[in-house]
Each structure stands twice: as structure tokens, then as C-alpha cells.
Structure 1
Amino acid sequence: MRKLKVILLEASLELAPSNWPYGPLIDKRYHYHKLSNFPQKWKRGRPDILHTTLLILQDSVLNREGLLELYFHTITGEVYKVRSDERVPKHYDAFKEIMAQLLQYGKVPRDSEEPLIWKAYDDLSQFVKDHGKFILMHEKGELRRVSEVVSEAIETNAAIGIGVFPRGDFRRSTIKKARKLYSIWKDSLKAWTVACKLVSSAEELLIQFS
């Protein structure tokens, strides 16, 4: 069965140190000053970007039809897989709680044999070893129609990578794992906007509407 494979990249999803207030995740809204000494501080503390993008992808017709294979990769390197028949919590605080459990135990629910989300790979290199290099959505990539990007990804079984961090560029190590860099607009777009356009195009390609 042909599917659209998506990996959300460099998500700013990290556990807050136990002595920080307003945990369990590092959140720029509460921890702005504490992030001042962190490397790449401009990319940290925004788990809400991952949350919003996951909600959009999971609620899509494409996902409901079982035609979306979804992963996300964190700023600390791990790659997680999301079940297509389950949903992350809509409430942001509940989302942060289950993400904290995920980072601690490697799956949620922690005791489930069929978890909602689980750690699939220790790093992005392992993901690429199994799935091949991915198509990276990048504001400086080659300008292409959304339908062209989606068609190429599906026909070649390549994942499409979308950045889910607030500012800056992808790490060089991430870019090196991309087979192509594409842009679908002349300026940068929010992660959830790119996600919407990709799944909408894939729905037109893969789903027969009566």
C-alpha cells in the first residue's frame, strides 16, 4: 500500500531539570532566562510547535485512512514513531505530561504493549539506514509544487522531513541526511502550514472520493 511518510525534525522536546519550576518539559514561556546558557537556545523550549503539527497530521483524512506513516525526531537526537489509529491529547498540558513520560520511559503509555508513541531509533542515522535519505522541506531548497514533492516521496517511498523548531536552520548533520531540499513557497512557512499542504496533496493522490 502506498503511503505518505513524514518525519518531523529537531523538535524542541526536552525534560526540564528537576529543580526548574513549571516542568516537566523545557518551555520557553517559563524558562526563557534559564535557557540563556544552552547551546542553540533559539531552537529550544517550543514543544507547542510539535504539538500543533501532530494534531493537524493525526486529524487528517490521510491519517484516518491509514495512509500516513508518522515519526518525529527531537533536538537531542531520538526518533519516535506515532501510531496512526491513536491521537495525542488536544490539551497542551496533557500533551506535555505524556511527552515527559515518553522521554523518561521510551513509550506511552509506559506499561502498554501497544503504545501510542514509542522510541523507534536512537538517532537519525538509524532512521536513514532503514528508510533511506529523506526529502527535506527547506526555505532555501529548490522551488517545487506541493504535488510534485508528494508524488516523488510516495513513488520513491522517501520520507518528507519538516522542521518543527522556532528559529534558525537545520543542523548540518540533518541536512547531510537529505536526498533533496525542496521549498513549496518563496518564503519560510510554519511547520503546520507545510504539514497541511502535504497531507492535502497526498489525499488527492491516494484517496478515491465518491
Structure 2
Amino acid sequence: MEHLVILLMESSLETIPKELLGDPVIIRDARRMRREPRYLILDRARHHSAMIKLSNAEKRGRPDIIHQALLTIQSSLLVRNGFIKTYIHTIGNVIIDVDPEVRPPRNYNNFIGLMSQLFKEGRVPPVGKPLFKILGGDVKYVFNAERPDRKILLDDVKGREITMGDFINYLMSFRVPLIMIGGFPRGSFSDGTYSLADDVFKIGKYTMDTASILCRILSSLETRLGILI
């Protein structure tokens, strides 16, 4: 394996939808945060009552999932040794390029501020080398840029059960495997996401959150590659 591509799919990361911009909850929060309402990051912890009117609400407003996933990925020994490239696909169909050298803020509020700036400016920081950059809305951009020789979707609903050991062996058989993993709290992937995958797996018998399964996969790979001994 030359390197692994991680694509956080249908991630619960977005700015305030147009239909909520006039909601009193959003207006009060924008004043408190001293930001324009349209560049606030939708967060169920702060915007729950406003989100009730949204379609597909159960999959939205959880940027903390992406924060935890990025902390797990970007602090791994695999990233430090050049084995990982990460992208985020949002529920609003936006692709975000994550620089391998980025170290996300550990403070959640600082992370939210960074994401707000990203959606406003299209990149962070606005000048110099971008640590996060919005590329557009087509997942195929990632496929064209990385040229993966296998696209694997991890899914607890439709995935074929596989042990962690067999999964790691399978990953290692490819030059540039790509793992798609959900960046949302509950619900199913869209039909379009399933159609992108060559394989759909569920690792083990237990349902695990995004950061937990990533931690186990990355740790197993670090051991298999001899990075962590």
C-alpha cells in the first residue's frame, strides 16, 4: 500500500440553511458569536429548536463528528509518515481538501470558527498555503485526483461483516485504497454514495461511531506497517 485515502462522506458540516436564516434562535446565536447568520455552522447543540423544521434533520447539525474524526486522523502516526490523505464530503455536497500537515484545533469552538471562515473564504487561511480548501461539489474530483484502485464504503446497515484483521489484509492488497466513512450521526447513506463503492463492509459485530472505527483502523495499520511496534 502506497497510501490510504479517507473520505468522510455526507458529513454533518454545513452553514445555516437559507430557510433558517430568519429564525430567532439563529439570529440570537449570530449576535452572540458576532458572525453573519449565513456563515454560522449549523450545530444541533445550539440550534435544535430551529432545526425541527429541516428536512433530513437527523443527519444534520453535528460538526463535532467531523472535529473528532479529524483529530483522530491528523494526529495519527500514519499521517506523520505520509500514508494518509483526507477529504471531507458534506451533506450539502461540498468537497473539502484537508492538507496532510494540518493539526485541527483541539478546542471545539475554535474548530467551529475555522469552519465558518472556510465556508466564507473558500480556504483557511485566506492567504498562503491552505490548510483546508473547498474544491467544489463532485466526489469524482477526489477519485480523479487520487486514482484509488479500490473504493470501500464502511456501513453498518448494508455492509458485509468482516473482521478487522481481514479488512486490514484487504486494504494492504491495494496500492491506493480509498475508504468512505459516514460523517453523520444516524440514518443511511444516499443511493448515490452506495453506487460509488466497489465494496461495502461492516467491521465486526458492533456499531461504532466514526472516530472510534477510524482509531481502530489506523492503529491496526500502524502496527501492520511497522510504524507502531
Alpha-carbon distance, 1:120 to partner? 3.4
**Once structures 1 and 2 are overlaid, which stretch shifts more, 195-204 or 13-22?**
13-22
- Residue 121 of structure 1 and its aligned partner are, at CA, apart by 4.3
Structure 2: distance between partners of 1:206 and 1:121: 33
Instruction: Give the CA deviation at 1:147.
Output: 3.3
The structure with the larger Rg is 2
Q: Which residue of 2 aligns with 1:182?
A: 201
- CA deviations 1:77-131 (Å, max 9, x no partner) are 112121122211111111001111112222111122x111112342223333443
Q: Deviations over 1:15-59 (max 9, x none)?
A: 126552325211101111211221210001100010011101111
Post-superposition offset of 1:62: 1.1
Map 1:51-200 → 2, pairs under 5 A: 51-112=67-128, 114-130=129-145, 131-132=147-148, 134-139=151-156, 140-156=158-174, 157-200=176-219
* TM-superposition CA deviations, 1:155-189 (whole Å, max 9, x none): 32221111110110111111111110011122321
Alignment partners' CA distance in 1, 2:227 and 2:42: 42
Aligned partner letter, 2:4: L
Bigger shift: residues 129-138 or 188-197: 129-138
Percent identity, aligned pairs only?
31
The alignment's TM-score, normalised by the length of structure 2, stands at 0.83
CA distance in 1, matches of 2:227, 2:107: 33
Q: Give the partner amino acid of 1:100.
A: S
- 1:48 equivalent to 2:64? Answer yes
Aligned counterpart, 2:33: none
Aligned-residue CA RMSD in angstroms? 1.9
Structure 1 segments, 4+ long, off by >6 Å, are none
- Partners of 1:162 and 1:194 within 8 A in 2: no
Of 22, 37, 43 in structure 1, the residue corresponding to residue 29 of structure 2 is: 22
Contact persistence 2:162–2:201 (CA under 8 A): yes
The 8 Å contact of residues 6 and 179 in structure 2, kept in 1 or not, is answered as yes
2:35 maps to which residue? none
In structure 2, how many angstroms separate the alpha carbons of the residues matched to 1:65 and 1:198? 16
